[in-house]
Structure 1
Amino acid sequence: MSFTLDRRFFLTLAGAGAGAAALSACGGPSTTPGAAATTVADIDFSGVKPAASIDFWSNHPGKSQDVEKSIIEKFHAKYPDIKVNLVTAGANYEEIAQKFQTAQAAKSGLPSLVVLSDVWWFRYYLNESIIPLDSLVKQLDVKLDDFRTSLVDDYKYDGKQWALPYGRSTPLFYYNKDHFAAAGLPDRAPATWQEFAGWAPKLKAASGAQYAFMHPALAGYAGWTLQNNLWGEGGGWSKEWDITCDSAESVAALQAAQDSVYKDAWAGVSSKESADDFAAGLASATLSSTGSLIGILKSAKFNVGVGFLPGGSKVTSGVCPTGGAGLGIPSGVTKEEQLAAAMFLQFMTEPENTAAFSAATGYMPTRTSADMTAVLAKTPQIKIAMDQLAVTKVQDNARAFLPGADQEMAKAAAKILTQEADVKATMTELKATLEGIYTKDVKPKLKA
């Protein structure tokens, strides 16, 4: 598998090619094209009147329900003829994706606007379950050039804009400043995981916490955050389409993670949400989304520090993945609902509202003109998250574009970190699984 291909070119081919139905075999939503597949790119909204009521499906990323309600109230004040119904469509990205898939299959009960995560929205692009936003962007004069380029371009494929960034994040290194001080450690994140491994015994001895570090919950997080560990050792889930999870570098990175739990016994594995475990004082440090920042600051009874993700023995910078979600408009609802949804989407992502959303959650402000002065004065930790954007790295193709791969990575990580399985054997098995997905469901779409 030495085929290399630019990720944007791949998506252009995938969108134009046939055979999307095969992707459904790998878990997650079906990717069989829907009835609107041949016409969604040609929607004309001239003369359309916005619907009087729309449903906005959210999982309230970063515990954002209150700020979502507040923004909706402001929207109602500006557009009293359009009612936005905020629907809790799941507790996480996976649940909201499954609910969206169920509504698609039933061809009823679809939302007008929906939260789409980094590893799920691509399937909806493939089966054209979401519409391109270009005609709406033009009609409503949405200022795309004011969005942070790296964030808005994540949804720009086949020459079209398929979603707008919403709850965009990176992982952050969170640490208990009080524990670090008690252990005589510097008030900063470690530069490398090797440095933290040297600190861990001191933290356990001085802090009284159960663990020096809490690995994030594996479901939904393993494939994302472990890229940091893998990249730091020169490995990865993949390099382009070469699956590299069983390379010597990748195995070394995951062996070190396993040793932190079993051999050296300074780390635990969160069963649900490491941010909550950290805020409760169970561990002196953890990795979690920037979207967890405000919740941690509110819940923790200690001084919270944040920093860039640690590097490894081979690579010390550029080891942080981006992630999070955008907002898309389904193809299976009326033009009137689509227009009303686009008006609300535009309002949600206005500079003032993106600043309010960031202040309430810790997610990245998606607009460059958003005035973050008051936010940063109150929560200066957000500046660390914003600064880390400059040293992020595009996620591995294997996680972002192989359907069902994220779940397979989580299963493999669970074997390694909760069952003490042999790392090399587990990664060899995972490689075979990922190559099978690539060979069957992706490679047929690629042109040499």
Structure 2
Amino acid sequence: MGMNLDRRHFLGLAGAGAGAAALAACGGPSTGGNTPASEAAEIDFSGVKPAASIDFWTNHPGKSQDVEKSIIAKFHAKFPDIKVNLVTAGANYEEIAQKFQTSQAAKEALPGVVVLSDVWWFRYFSNGNIIPLDGLVKQLDIKVDDFQKSLVADYRYDDKQWALPYGRSTPLFYYNKDHFKAAGLPDRAPKTWQEFAEWAPKLKASSGAQYAYIYPALAGYAGWTLQNNLWGWGGSWSNEWTINCDSAESVEALQWAQDSIYKDGWAGVSSKEAADDFAAGITSSTISSTGSLLGVLKSAKFNVGVGFLPGGPKVESGVCPTGGAGLGIPSGVSKEVQLAAGTFLKFMTEPESTAEFSAATGYMPTRVSADMTSVLAKTPQIKTAMDQLSVTRVQDNARVFLPGADQEMAKAAAKILTQQGDVKATMTALKSTLEGIYTKDVKPKLKS
């Protein structure tokens, strides 16, 4: 398990294996496929005429349907010969993934552009279901160097570009400024979780809220946000391909989290959406995506503060993961559709578009040259998320590259945080599950 391989060098991943049951439970697709993505050649689009119509499959991340419609309207004005049909392909990333997989298996109509999340897109790359974008980058002169490096690099594997960043985010620490003031606390996020543990009893006593802090809903969030806790304690889900979720550091981090709920009594776990619980005043603080920022600011009846994620007893900085989605183009459509899709993808990720999208949702502006002046004047909190990009850390391999691992992590977190299960035993069992996925479905496909 101690392989130290560059994250770019993969062949195809075959099936869901040990994660299949979890995927099925969440409505996720299988990952069967026979075409190694690394064999995909750069596509030549010279002499190709763009298709007259394409579908854009999205789940409207960050409640972005209105801004997506606005950007598409601007696209139609500039490119009247290409019609983009906005399709709600699911309520979340998993539902889009299911629809995308089902449509390919049934040989049904595929989209021109599809939203692919951080934990789903890689399996489509590995199965050859999406094309490398390098040919389109050349043909359409897409300024890849102008994208935020930490965001665009997430989609570069085998020396090819497989998607462009779209609804990208980091978690933020959200806090109720009014509660913090009433408790006599500084108007800032805590520097470490240990500092917050000192603040929490004061918050609980003075705020009238049910919790001083609420952990994000575990389904879809546990594997992502708990990386912050694990990293702060010096642990992780994995170190490269070594699964170490049962290390002393990882166990200590999750034991602390469990104690904050059951022993110390100042924390809880959101049942559905932590940002909504926070905006409703149920908790004085939480961690949630930057994509929730605009919604929280609109809904909350109090002064909202945001800050960097807290560190832990061993690591105080570089404890924030990136996340979210990118835009990819299917391999199972014609070159004409792919070229039209590339034209739209370029427009959708231009500096003006990404600034408009960020202003409407709170997601990161993915382009360096995006003019955020008016956006930040109206919503200065977005700058905190932008500044935090410089101290983000690449997600653990186990979360983003093992099929079904995210669901397994959520199940383990539920045992620990909602059932008060034994932390060491739960993490040991999770390690066994993750190693099984790696050994069966990933290791045989890695380049030597």
Same fold (TM over 0.5): yes
Which residue in 2 is equivalent to 1:59? 59
- Alignment size in residue pairs: 441
Q: Any conservation in 2 of the 1:34–1:129 contact (CA below 8 Å)?
A: no
Which residue in 1 is equivalent to 2:196? 196
Q: Any conservation in 2 of the 1:402–1:442 contact (CA below 8 Å)?
A: yes
Distance 1:177 1:348 in 2: 35
Identity of aligned residues (%): 81
Distance 1:328 1:286 in 2: 32
Sort the Cα spacing of 1:447 and 1:351 in 2 relative to 1 into closer, same or farther, 3 A.
Answer: closer
Which residue in 1 is equivalent to 2:364? 364
Q: Supply the AA of the counterpart residue of 1:389.
A: L
Which residue in 1 is equivalent to 2:308? 308
Q: Supply the AA of the counterpart residue of 1:133.
A: L
Sort the Cα spacing of 1:83 and 1:24 in 2 relative to 1 into closer, same or farther, 3 A.
Answer: farther
1:243-392 equivalences in 2 (<5 Å): 243-392=243-392
Which residue in 2 is equivalent to 1:120? 120
Q: Residue 265 of structure 2 aligns to a residue in which SS?
A: coil
Residue 123 of structure 2 corresponds to residue 130 of structure 1: no
**Offset, 1:22:** 3.5
Residue deviations 1:182-201, cap 9 Å, x none?
11110000011111111111
Q: Residue 98 of structure 1 aligns to a residue in which SS?
A: helix
**Offset, 1:146:** 1.0
Q: Supply the AA of the counterpart residue of 2:383.
A: K
Distance 1:302 1:73 in 2: 35
1:37-186 equivalences in 2 (<5 Å): 40-186=40-186
Distance 2:17 2:132 in 1: 22
Q: Supply the AA of the counterpart residue of 1:299.
A: S
Which residue in 1 is equivalent to 2:25? none
Q: Residue 203 of structure 2 aligns to a residue in which SS?
A: helix
Distance 2:170 2:122 in 1: 19
Q: Residue 90 of structure 1 aligns to a residue in which SS?
A: coil
Q: Supply the AA of the counterpart residue of 1:415.
A: K
Which residue in 2 is equivalent to 1:21? 14
Distance 2:31 2:299 in 1: 40
Q: Any conservation in 2 of the 1:116–1:325 contact (CA below 8 Å)?
A: yes
**Which ranges in structure 2 are unaligned for 5 or more consecutive residues?**
21-27
**Offset, 1:330:** 0.6
Q: Any conservation in 2 of the 1:112–1:337 contact (CA below 8 Å)?
A: yes
Residue deviations 1:110-153, cap 9 Å, x none?
11110011110000000010011111111111111111112111
Q: Supply the AA of the counterpart residue of 1:372.
A: M
Q: Supply the AA of the counterpart residue of 1:192.
A: T
Q: Any conservation in 2 of the 1:235–1:249 contact (CA below 8 Å)?
A: yes
Distance 1:155 1:87 in 2: 23
Distance 1:37 1:122 in 2: 10
**Offset, 1:32:** 2.9
**Offset, 1:261:** 1.3
Q: Supply the AA of the counterpart residue of 1:14.
A: L
**Offset, 1:51:** 1.4
**Offset, 1:207:** 0.8
**Offset, 1:34:** 5.9
Q: Any conservation in 2 of the 1:230–1:236 contact (CA below 8 Å)?
A: yes
Q: Residue 220 of structure 1 aligns to a residue in which SS?
A: coil
Q: Residue 324 of structure 1 aligns to a residue in which SS?
A: strand
Q: Any conservation in 1 of the 2:233–2:253 contact (CA below 8 Å)?
A: yes
Residue deviations 1:71-93, cap 9 Å, x none?
01111111112111111111111
Distance 1:329 1:265 in 2: 48
Which residue in 1 is equivalent to 2:230? 230
Q: Any conservation in 2 of the 1:53–1:84 contact (CA below 8 Å)?
A: yes
Q: Which moved more, 1:140-149 or 1:302-311?
A: 140-149
Q: Any conservation in 1 of the 2:125–2:162 contact (CA below 8 Å)?
A: yes
Distance 2:355 2:339 in 1: 24
Q: Any conservation in 1 of the 2:258–2:420 contact (CA below 8 Å)?
A: yes
Which residue in 2 is equivalent to 1:240? 240
TM-score (norm 1): 0.96
Q: Which moved more, 1:282-291 or 1:256-265?
A: 256-265
**Which ranges in structure 1 are unaligned for 5 or more consecutive residues?**
none
Distance 2:17 2:427 in 1: 24
**Offset, 1:347:** 0.4
Q: Residue 173 of structure 1 aligns to a residue in which SS?
A: strand
**Offset, 1:25:** 5.5
Which residue in 2 is equivalent to 1:212? 212
Q: Any conservation in 2 of the 1:45–1:135 contact (CA below 8 Å)?
A: yes
Distance 2:180 2:36 in 1: 56
Which residue in 1 is equivalent to 2:24? none
Q: Which moved more, 1:24-33 or 1:315-324?
A: 24-33
**Offset, 1:221:** 0.4
Distance 1:246 1:401 in 2: 19
Distance 1:64 1:6 in 2: 35
Residue deviations 1:330-383, cap 9 Å, x none?
111122211111111100111011011111111111111101111111111111
Which residue in 2 is equivalent to 1:420? 420
**Offset, 1:445:** 2.5
Sort the Cα spacing of 1:281 and 1:108 in 2 relative to 1 into closer, same or farther, 3 A.
Answer: same
Distance 1:112 1:378 in 2: 34
Distance 2:210 2:359 in 1: 31
Q: Any conservation in 1 of the 2:170–2:290 contact (CA below 8 Å)?
A: yes
Structural RMSD (CA): 1.5
